[in-house]
């Protein structure tokens, strides 16, 4: 959403812009990113959906919304893009409750109950990173996509450099490569041992300083990568806040990641990037905007299922370490 909201702020410098978001378990991440920006006046993070259906009654949770009114409601939610009829109706009711005189960004593709339209749905879905271009067309505004829009923090950058020194990494002492072996969904995780083999190759071939990123719950995955690398890689699992990860990415020469949030941040920062993914989750939906990115796909038997369950699968096994090393060599030639 950031390129779209930044563009709205640039065009309406004096406007009072409120961002309303429901991100469930990712509320803390959302707060860390948006509270550092100057694009919004108010940030409202909801712990539950604001409009809910109880039987035949539609109820609006007014606690956090009662003082919010708007002239223009811009809907950047991905739910309509997925064809969720009920969610689109709820978002329309939210716009009405807030008193919007104009509302844009509502789009419905299909009634995709029980995944009955999986085989064709991806043909109609818009890419999430590019969808704001179409949403903002009604305002004759284009998202700002060609510059680093994430916040800078000198103190945080110094803290990151201190963390790096503590694990034996010196900025400028060889290329720094960040590997991200974790993911919210187990089906989106390339095997940790392959990340370890990749890390060993990067160190031995390019004298790289290889860093392993992950949240606290992914510490075991990161430790396995380090072990498989022969302890050549350095784990930062659980050590970084979102802003620290952003500052770390700015210091890195490349990032290799599963299809997850770190990948999106690297793309926004224009860091040379390799993404490892399968067609289980269509690129129609997830692929970010970057001219320094190679996306490696394996074709899944459940292609375009958009199944968000946390089950381990064999979707990514066809992608070998050699596939990633070849992509890396191509990436550094082109960048």
CATH code at 316?
Answer: 3.40.50.2000
Residue 127 lies in a domain: yes
Q: Give the pLDDT of residue 175.
A: 95
Same domain, residue pair 81 and 171: no
Q: Domain end: 110, 139, 168, which one?
A: 139
Same domain, residue pair 241 and 272: yes
Q: Supply the angle between the helices 154-166 and 242-251 in degrees, to the nearest 10.
A: 80
Determine the structural domain holding residue 180 and report its residue range: 156-334
Residue 197 lies in a domain: yes
Pick the range with the lowest mean pLDDT from 66-75, 113-122, 302-311, 321-330: 113-122
Same domain, residue pair 123 and 14: yes
Residue 51 phi/psi, 5° resolution? -120, 120
Residue 91 is inside which H or E element, if any?
helix 85-97
Q: Domain end: 139, 167, 193, which one?
A: 139
Segment 37-60 shows an average pLDDT of 82
Segment 315-335 shows an average pLDDT of 95
**Which pLDDT band holds residue 279 (cuts at 50, 70, 90)?**
confident
Q: Domain end: 139, 174, 208, which one?
A: 139
Residue 286 lies in a domain: yes
Cα radius of gyration (the chain): 21
């Amino acid at each position: 959403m950031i390129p779209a909201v930044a563009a709205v702020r640039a065009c309406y410098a004096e406007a009072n812009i409120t961002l309303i978001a429901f991100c469930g378990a990712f509320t803390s991440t959302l707060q860390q990113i948006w509270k550092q920006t100057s694009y919004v006046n108010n940030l409202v993070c909801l712990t539950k959906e604001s409009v809910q259906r109880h039987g035949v009654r539609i109820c609006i949770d007014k606690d956090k919304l009662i003082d919010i009114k708007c002239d223009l409601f811009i809907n950047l939610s991905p739910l309509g893009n997925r064809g969720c009829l009920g969610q689109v109706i709820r978002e329309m009711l939210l716009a009405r409750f807030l008193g919007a005189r104009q509302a844009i960004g509502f789009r419905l593709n299909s009634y995709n109950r029980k995944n009955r339209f999986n085989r064709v749905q991806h043909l109609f879905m818009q890419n999430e990173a590019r969808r704001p271009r179409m949403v903002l067309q009604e305002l004759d505004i284009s998202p700002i996509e060609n510059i680093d829009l994430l916040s800078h923090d000198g103190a945080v950058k110094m803290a990151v450099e201190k963390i790096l020194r503590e694990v034996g990494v010196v900025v400028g002492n060889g290329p720094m490569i960040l590997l991200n072996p974790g993911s919210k969904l187990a089906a989106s995780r390339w095997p940790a041992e392959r990340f370890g083999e990749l890390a060993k190759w990067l160190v031995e071939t390019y004298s790289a300083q290889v860093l392993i990123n992950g949240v606290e719950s992914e510490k075991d995955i990161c430790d396995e990568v380090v072990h498989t690398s022969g302890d050549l890689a350095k784990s930062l699992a659980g050590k970084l806040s979102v802003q620290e990860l952003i500052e770390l990415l700015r210091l890195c020469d490349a990032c290799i990641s599963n299809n997850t949030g770190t990948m999106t941040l690297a793309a926004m920062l224009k860091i040379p990037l390799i993404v490892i993914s399968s067609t289980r989750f269509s690129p129609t939906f997830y692929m970010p905007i970057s001219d320094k990115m190679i996306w490696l796909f394996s074709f899944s038997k459940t292609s375009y299922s958009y199944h968000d369950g946390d089950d381990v699968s064999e979707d990514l096994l066809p992608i070998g370490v050699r596939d990633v090393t070849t992509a890396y060599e191509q990436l550094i030639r082109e960048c």
